Amino acid sequence: MNWKDWAGYYAVASYDTNHDQEYFAYRHAAGLMDATPLFKYEVKGPDSLNLLSRIMAKDIGKLRLGRVTYCCWCDDDGKILDDGTVARLGMDHFRVTAAEPFLHWFLQNARTLNVTIEDITAKFGILALQGPLSREILVHAAGGEVATLRFFRLIETRIDGRNVTITRTGYTGDLGYEIWCGNSDAIAVYDALIESGKNYQIMPAGLAALDVARIEAGFIMNGVDYFSANHCLIDSQKSTPYELGLGWSVNLERDCFIGQKALQAEKETGSSWQFVGLEYDWEAFEEIFARFDLPPQTHSGAWRTAVPVYGRSGKQVGQATSGAWSPTLKKNLALASLRNDDYSKGDALFIEVTAEYERKRCPVRVSDPMFFNPERKRGK
Amino acid sequence: MKTASKPNSSTYDAIVIGGGHNGLVCAAYLAKAGKKVLAVEKRPVLGGAAVSEETVPGFTFSTFSYVVSLFRPQIIRQLDLVKHGLQIIPMETTYNPIPGDAGLVRWADGGRTRNEIARFSKKDASLYSEFGLSMGRLSRFTKNVIDTPAPEPASLNPKELFKLLKMGKLFKDFDADMRYLNVKLMTMSAVDFLEEWFESEPLLPSMAGSGIIGTFLGIRSPGTAYVLLHHYMGEIDGAFRAWGFSKGGTGQISLACARAAVSFGAEIITDAAVERVKIRNGRAVGVVLENGGEINARTVISGLDPNRTFLKLVGEDELPASFVGQIKRYKNRGSSGKVNLALSRVPNFEDGRPGLQHLKGDITIAPSIDYVERAYDEAKYGEFSRRPFLNIVIPSLSDPSVAPPGKHVLSAFVQYAPYNIREGAGKWPEKREAFGDAVIDTIEEYAPDIRDCIIDKQVLSPWDIEKMTGLTEGNIFQGELSLEQLAFLRPVAEWSRYRSPINGLWMCASGTHPGGGVMGAPGELAAKTMLKEGGV
Amino acid sequence: MSFDVVVIGGGVNALTAAAYLAKAGRGVAVVCPDDEIGGLCSRHEFYPGYYSPGILSDTSMFRKWIVDELDLRGHGLVKSTSSKTVAFGKDQQIVFSESTDKTTDEIARVSEPDAESYRAMKAFYQKIGGPISQFLNSVPADIVDPETTDLWSLFKRGFQLRRLGKKDMLEVLRLAPMTVYDWLDEWFENNGLKAALALPAVTEGYSAPWSPGTNANLLIREVTRGPRVQGDGLALVEALESAARSNGVQFEPGIVDSIEPGRGVRLEDGDFMEAKTIMAAYGPKKVFLEMIDARLLSHKFEQRISKFRTRGLTSQLLLAVESYGPGVESSASRSGSRQSDKISPGPGNLNSGLPEMALIAEDLDGIEKAFDPVKYKEVTRRPCLDVYIPSEIHDDLAPIGKTVISVLVHYTPYALRGGWTPEAREELSGNVIDVLDEKIPGIKERVIGKELLTPGDIEQRYGLSGGQLYEGEHALDQLLVRPAPECSQYKTPFEGLFLCSGGSFPGGGLTGAPGALAAKLVMQE
């Protein structure tokens, strides 16, 4: 078993010495992961919507009851602080997830608002049940209404007699659910899910497998593919939602929200960076290693030490921030930021590859970062 | 290390008065540059306030200075101090005990620390790492200030103006947020500054406490915020942690410096107190020892505090009256004492925490802002604090060499213990016992079995510190670290560059820029300045 | 209703700014409820027939250049030649008057060496006063985000300071961050003298004599101080109001509900006053956190304004006193040396023998000890007092022959442990009256009515955030960048909105400087 630090908690990276089986569970059966260390906030009160509308780049006013949305939030300069989900449980009742602690941010922005914000990180457990068979397992555990739960919707129900909130969301880019339960109920719910899944080859799964899955799905990660503006040492380390391919989640035409002016300006004048997926040219990759008489060597899991990306002239045009060999697609993938001044659509690109201690450049093809996007993810 | 008490020669290029760590660093740099150097120490042990002594058989106390804060890494590299025995063991935790509670421990692990803080305030927990980051960014500027002689703002010399501009440019290169933060940090009180970020106790007083160490100020006194930066400087030094223990006690730093100095050809004598600086035609030409011996040198460098250097060793008659006035106004104001304990076992803090890991760093007794402020209020009117702010370390948990197996040494830095008590400083010997009891009573509130653990104790009031080390009023920094006594005003205006009004007499210790602490920076900068300006 | 400029607030800075702008030909309206004209120098009846003179009265730092530029003398302003402040120490009194010679003689009665030092200190302030008052009387340089003009102005200031000579320049740099305690200790030996000099300066912030940086407050006071205005604060605002009116300023009695930057001001009764330029003479917290739609503020700016420190530590005790006239021998009139310079008859002088102004603080430690309990939210047992007896010069504040005493009480916590219950109020008032009665015997039994304004009450009545009398604590960082980098030069992040209260450079008090400097900036733009 491999452990990893996650926000001050021990979290499982992989239950075995190697994460392969867990990855395949995510993609072919179901993996059950403990996502409790995710930061969770509960926002209640008459002004909850006003608060979230002010903070989030997305118009939360449009979020209907019983739905969940993915969104990001920015500082005054439109630089991204974090990304996460907002779930609407009632007219004046929301839950927010975040990768980093933001209680102070929520509180600071609530000065004139009639709203309560509670850090419920330690109060609730989150179990992520992800994979093509997760629906069957959950129907078995929680009953039939889960069967009709649509993508990014939530229901409140019971598992093993305990109250849970189930959202059809996840970080694997596959069919999947996240189950919120009271902290003290978490172990019972976990056991119930394992019990329900035993005929479906459910597996406890960890973060290492998740990391591969999320790269295939093109999901960015705070602290890897971008850095929270509050944690950057210099301005150039900051990013904006547009630069990260999250422009679709920004709603400019509405009441004031934090970063609005800067984002408006960026939308008008254009962004400095763009976020892309990169697929290695496999033959060229093979060739690089073949020169040393070696078979192509890929990482065993996801990597997150950034490497430079070059243009044809040899000039660095950006960096790949994380990547993985996709066992499903049989491709070597990376997520990358490219500088718009130096890269235009169609330009040839090369990524740095180290073969036998030597740095080489391997041609890559630009692609939609959502490399793997099965129908079942959002389908009925 | 063995040292003689008589010099081999009667004439040197330079004599360093005082074998404190700054004096030894200075001597080592000068010797390394090929100068014939003699360092003279009055006590039998080297180190000044950075000494280790086996006060109780088998127990090595770091008698005065007990942690290594910002010892400059370039000194370790340039003087090859590791070869000469220096080993620094990082301190990883800060523990604030609370009676009947698990207290607050801040660990090297950010997430773990956040969870600890969240017990007291989730808001504070969510801001903690952001605060560290801002401070880390800011310390880039401060590092530059520490590692160069202070610029002279009143100078019309183009070189000085250029230096100022450079400093200004460095300041300007920061973004506006950092500049604003810097203005606040330099002038605000530790509590006011921290309250812009945090709300909970004991986090606030624990952090603010570092702002008052060694000063005669309270945590609510303006000008105490900037010391907070020191805690964040370690990281930009490339070191893992800013604070640590020197293996074998703080004295080992001094000894490593001494060995380095000797390896470069310097000579060191102990048990040799300097009575006065020999001055001929307004120029320092050597020293006269208390035993009557005279040693000549082209340059005399004082590692003693400004008051002692000028008013005792030089004498008012030799100095311009205005300078004497400045030195007399220079504030020393010892404010702290020290209690060293030899323990039969580790006291039980009854915090329900497993193991001793959380006791390996520093243990700060500062349960609330009011507690620390009240301790200060008592001191203002000439009393020692009945419930003092304590900074406790148990170095034997990290370095077993300082105590017999299974036994421990505990060192408690105590604030406040004003040198000038109401009854007069001379009455300290009569109050010493009561002072020690107040400290142990305080510890007892957190570790109820402390009295059962004590094998022996050493209680040091500022009066004792003065008597033993010669530090005027027992001020551990050779002068208050208040804004008007820092940088180009340290020790006094127009004499902030290690020189003095007496030709050939220089200063090299904490009474000069950048000030006190086991940093070594004044010694290094003084030596480098002298070598550059042909002072030796 | 449409104007070029709407000034909100009616205090010294508001009236100054309005007068300047109107004089320059702008159409100016001042929005302020009638009874709040005068701001901190506005009166209210606190006991039937007895009126408060407002909360600030010391006009000695009102800038002379403003008097000249607005021709305030033409509007009735008279420089006082005879005003005095009696400093009560332990078994001693020193009368401070407009003449340094006289004051020095007074000091000589308690300490000959201190009299010499006082003269020397005055000379020192005189010497360094030039460049420092220039600094205090111009728009501050933006040191946080300097533009070329700021750098140039910084350089110029530095150069002016350097022209004092190396020694004096370094001395100025040394003394600003010092404690008042250490600074005065370097000069004087007499405790009462030190306390009298220190009290007004150290009580401008969350500070006491032992607090570093307080000496900057003292320095600023000393170099900007001049003769007081005859009739003090009340007379000053009358002259300013007259100057404003005669230049065509319109006064609009109304309460501001909200500011819409660039457009105008909405009043509580729903009226909207259009103006491209709005000058806010309220403190920055009130302006940005109460009068502007929160959604318009950037997160960072809102945080900075929220963190601007405005902890009020002063309460005011207003006393209605039965005839304290001839026949009652005050300790002030007992003092022999004062026979020759009796309080000269002002318009309402009752010649009761009471001083117009008095400071009661025995020594620096006494001030410090009055501060200590406040840190723990407790009532001070022996407060230090800054006393103003306005009925000595204004005959319309009290019935004929009766006296009004306004006492600023240092220190008083904003929030008291256990709350400001009637008992707590009685306790503090009692402590104040006891101290007062020691120095001015007979007061105690003549008090017929009183009103205590705690910092919270002061906040309510005068619109001062936190009840802080200077619209924001005077501390080094809040002087260098006041109140926040985005608005340290009167401009704000909002086009057309300017600040002109004591919450802006060079700070609070009856100086007129923020109002005048902000108005000049608006005229330039």
For residue range A129-154, what is the model confidence (pLDDT) as tens digits? 999 999 999 999 999 999 999 999 99
DSSP annotation of C179:
B
Which of C260, C299, C302 to probe the A interface (max A CBs under 10 A)? C299
Residue in chain A nearest C301 by alpha carbon:
A76
Whether B127 and A235 lie within 8 Å, measured CB to CB = no
For position B239, what pLDDT does the model report?
47
Percentage of residues of chain B with pLDDT beyond 90: 80
Residue with tokens 């959604």: C295
Token digits of residue C113: 């060496």
For residue A186, give every residue at least 6 positions away whose Cβ sits within 8 Å of its Cβ, in sequence order, or none: A34, A36, A125, A127
Residues A283 and A174 placed together within one structural domain of the fold:
no
Nearest CA to CA, how far is B181 from chain C (Å)? 9
With beta carbons under 8 A apart, name residues in chain B contacting C131.
none
Q: In this predicted model, what pLDDT tens digit does every residue of B138-187 receive, in sequence order?
A: 887 777 778 888 878 777 777 777 777 776 776 666 778 888 888 898 89
Percentage of residues of chain C with pLDDT beyond 70: 94
Q: For B416-428, what is the mean pLDDT?
A: 97
Given a cut of 80, whether residue C340 has pLDDT beyond it is: no
Nearest CB neighbour to C212, from listed B156, B381, B482? B482
Q: What is this structure's pTM?
A: 0.94
Given a cut of 70, whether residue C468 has pLDDT beyond it is: yes
DSSP annotation of B310:
I
Alpha-carbon gap, residue A49 to A86, rounded angstroms: 11
The enclosing domain of A294 has a CATH number of: 2.40.30.110
Mean pLDDT (chain C, rounded):
92
Whether C177 and B154 lie within 8 Å, measured CB to CB = no
Alpha-carbon gap, residue A156 to B376, rounded angstroms: 56
Whether C294 and A111 lie within 8 Å, measured CB to CB = yes
Mean pLDDT (chain B, rounded):
93
Given a cut of 70, whether residue B237 has pLDDT beyond it is: no
Given a cut of 70, whether residue B269 has pLDDT beyond it is: yes
Per-residue confidence at C330, pLDDT binned at 50, 70, 90? very low
Q: In this predicted model, what pLDDT tens digit does every residue of C187-246 receive, in sequence order?
A: 999 999 999 999 999 999 999 999 999 999 999 999 999 999 999 999 999 999 999 999
Given a cut of 50, whether residue C326 has pLDDT beyond it is: no
The reply to whether C480 touches chain B by the CB within 8 Å rule is: yes
Whether B370 and C372 lie within 8 Å, measured CB to CB = no
Residues A209 and A283 placed together within one structural domain of the fold:
no
The reply to whether C430 touches chain B by the CB within 8 Å rule is: no
Q: Is residue A73 part of a domain?
A: yes
Higher local confidence (pLDDT), C258 or C395: C258
Q: Is residue A225 part of a domain?
A: no
Q: How many residues does chain C have?
A: 525
Domain that holds residue A341: 272-380
For position A300, what pLDDT does the model report?
87
Q: For C371-384, what is the mean pLDDT?
A: 97
Residues A198 and A284 placed together within one structural domain of the fold:
no
Alpha-carbon gap, residue A166 to B13, rounded angstroms: 81
For position B241, what pLDDT does the model report?
53
Q: For C98-104, what is the mean pLDDT?
A: 93
Instruction: Say how many C-beta atoms besides its own lie within 10 A of residue A352's C-beta.
Output: 16
Q: What is the three-class DSSP state of C403?
A: strand
DSSP annotation of C94:
E
Whether B133 and A233 lie within 8 Å, measured CB to CB = yes
Q: In this predicted model, what pLDDT tens digit does every residue of A253-278 receive, in sequence order?
A: 999 999 999 999 999 999 999 999 99
Nearest CB neighbour to C299, from listed A112, A255, A258? A258
How much is the ipTM here? 0.93
Range B513-533 burial, b when 16+ CB lie within 10 A, else e: bbbbbbbbbbbbbbbbbbbee
Give the least confident one: A68-82, B224-238, B407-421, C106-120: B224-238
For position B179, what pLDDT does the model report?
85
Q: For B370-384, what is the mean pLDDT?
A: 97
Q: Is residue A347 part of a domain?
A: yes
Q: For B248-277, what is the mean pLDDT?
A: 97
Closest to A277 (Cα-Cα) out of A222, A349, A209, A208: A349
Per-residue confidence at C348, pLDDT binned at 50, 70, 90? very low
Instruction: Say how many C-beta atoms besides its own lie within 10 A of residue B386's C-beta.
Output: 13
The reply to whether C213 touches chain B by the CB within 8 Å rule is: yes
Given a cut of 50, whether residue A203 has pLDDT beyond it is: yes
Q: Is residue A30 part of a domain?
A: yes
Whether A255 and C295 lie within 8 Å, measured CB to CB = yes
Q: Hey, what domains does chain C have and what are their CATH numbers?
A: 2-38+63-75+230-308+472-524 (3.50.50.60), 97-224 (no CATH), 314-462 (no CATH)
Q: Is residue A64 part of a domain?
A: yes
Instruction: Say how many C-beta atoms besides its own lie within 10 A of residue B423's C-beta.
Output: 12
Alpha-carbon gap, residue C313 to C454, rounded angstroms: 9
Nearest CA to CA, how far is A231 from chain B (Å)? 6
236-295 in chain C: CB under 8 A from chain A: 289, 294-295
Q: Is residue A233 part of a domain?
A: no
For position B339, what pLDDT does the model report?
98
Q: For chains A and B, what is the number of CB pairs under 8 angstroms? A: 42
Residues A117 and A23 placed together within one structural domain of the fold:
yes
Q: For C105-124, what is the mean pLDDT?
A: 96
Q: Which among A201, A217, A233 is the end of a domain?
A: A217
For position C325, what pLDDT does the model report?
56
Q: CB of B217 within 8 A of CB of B248?
A: no
Residues A210 and A65 placed together within one structural domain of the fold:
yes
The enclosing domain of A28 has a CATH number of: 3.30.1360.120
Q: For C337-341, what is the mean pLDDT?
A: 38
Per-residue confidence at A5, pLDDT binned at 50, 70, 90? very high
* Cis upstream peptide for B514 (omega within 30°): yes
Q: Is residue A280 part of a domain?
A: yes
Residues A300 and A190 placed together within one structural domain of the fold:
no
Mean pLDDT (chain A, rounded):
96
Q: Which among A199, A217, A235 is the end of a domain?
A: A217
Residues A78 and A209 placed together within one structural domain of the fold:
yes
C112-136 and C214-224 are packed helices; what angle lies between their axes, rounded to 10 degrees?
90
Given a cut of 50, whether residue C346 has pLDDT beyond it is: no
Q: For B58-69, what is the mean pLDDT?
A: 93
Given a cut of 60, whether residue B238 has pLDDT beyond it is: no
Residues A213 and A287 placed together within one structural domain of the fold:
no
Nearest CB neighbour to B109, from listed A5, A107, A119? A5
Q: Is residue A310 part of a domain?
A: yes
Higher local confidence (pLDDT), B90 or B284: B284
With beta carbons under 8 A apart, name residues in chain C contacting B488.
170, 173
Pairing of strands B94-96, B362-365: parallel
Residues A79 and A179 placed together within one structural domain of the fold:
yes
For residue C325, give every residue at least 6 positions away whose Cβ sits within 8 Å of its Cβ, in sequence order, or none: C350, C351, C352, C353, C401
Q: In this predicted model, what pLDDT tens digit does every residue of A168-196 receive, in sequence order?
A: 999 999 999 999 999 999 999 999 999 99
Q: How many distinct structural domains can be found in chain A?
A: 2
With beta carbons under 8 A apart, name residues in chain C contacting B422.
none
Alpha-carbon gap, residue A338 to A317, rounded angstroms: 6
Strand residue runs (E) in A152-272: 154-159, 162-167, 176-182, 202-204
The reply to whether A294 touches chain B by the CB within 8 Å rule is: no
For position C337, what pLDDT does the model report?
40
